[in-house]
Amino acid sequence: MEIKQFRYGDTNLAYLIYSGGEAAAIDGGAPEEILDFIKTQNLRLKYVLNTHEHHDHTPGNERLLKINSVEFIAPAGLVKMKQFHLGDESVEVFATPGHTEDSIVFKHSGWLITGDTLFNGTVGNCYSGDYETYFNSLEKVLSFPPGTKIFAGHDIVDYSLGVAKKIDPENQFLSLYRSKYDKNLVVSTLEMELKVNPFIRFNDSKLDAYRSGLKMSLDTPYLRWRAMMSVH
Ligand SMILES: [Fe+2]
């Protein structure tokens, strides 16, 4: 399975994943570039998909759905299907409610497309209002191997590292993380996220001193996360 990233809008990231000549656009908000790429690679666009239905993730749908025999499957439909096929390969889909109720993550061996559930350096806003559910979704995302690549729905790395530095100024991994940043391919790994992203480091004692300053209960991983989300 190949994965190609496209930029659009201020910070949005679109993806085309493909195998055996078949492709799926995920949050395909750069439709003309995606269609050019499909043409040069001689691919057939099979699916138009989204990580969730926020408007900044769906602006390419209408254009891409003009292509012959393309199928649109909404996030809820993908969760029911659990997986879909491109060529001989399958991509798994699992529900990660929290940022929105319909948020999903796409998984293939070695990578996740996380939409606004997990960013490179931070997490999304909890627009659903259900923090416990969002926490459970993040735990699911974090259960994959450390080397798993994280392809997110926005490039907000600069902003995120600024926040992370305020929270954890002595963190030596922040400069390493920044040195690996490439505007042309924005990606990190779970391992790096667990070293720099303060909003998933709820089991990292290095943040205990900062968290205790928040004057909130810190007795469980969820409560430590919830406390940190008060400064998100
Ligand atoms: Fe969103």
**What's the whole-model pTM score?**
0.98
Residues 6+ apart with CB under 8 A from 36: none
105 C-alpha to ligand 1 centroid (Å): 13
Query: What pLDDT, in 10s, does the model give residues 181-225?
Result: 999 999 999 999 999 999 999 999 999 999 999 999 999 999 999
Query: What pLDDT, in 10s, does the model give residues 86-113?
Result: 999 999 999 999 999 999 999 999 999 9
99 C-alpha to ligand 1 centroid (Å): 7
Q: Which long-range contacts link 62-66 to residues 24+ away (Cβ below 8 Å)?
A: 63/31, 63/32, 63/35, 64/25, 64/28, 64/31, 64/34, 64/35
Domain count, the chain: 1
Which pLDDT score is estimated for 87? 98
Range of the domain at 212: 2-229
Q: pLDDT-based confidence at 163, cuts 50/70/90?
A: very high
53 C-alpha to ligand 1 centroid (Å): 7
Which pLDDT score is estimated for 217? 96
3-state DSSP assignment of residue 123:
strand
14 C-alpha to ligand 1 centroid (Å): 13
We report the CATH number of the domain holding residue 113 as 3.60.15.10
Which pLDDT score is estimated for 13? 98
What does each C-alpha distance from 6 to 19, 69, 136 come to in angstroms? 18, 23, 29
What does each C-alpha distance from 14 to 17, 113, 133 come to in angstroms? 10, 10, 26
Query: What pLDDT, in 10s, does the model give residues 24-68?
Result: 999 999 999 999 999 999 999 999 999 999 999 999 999 999 999
88 C-alpha to ligand 1 centroid (Å): 31
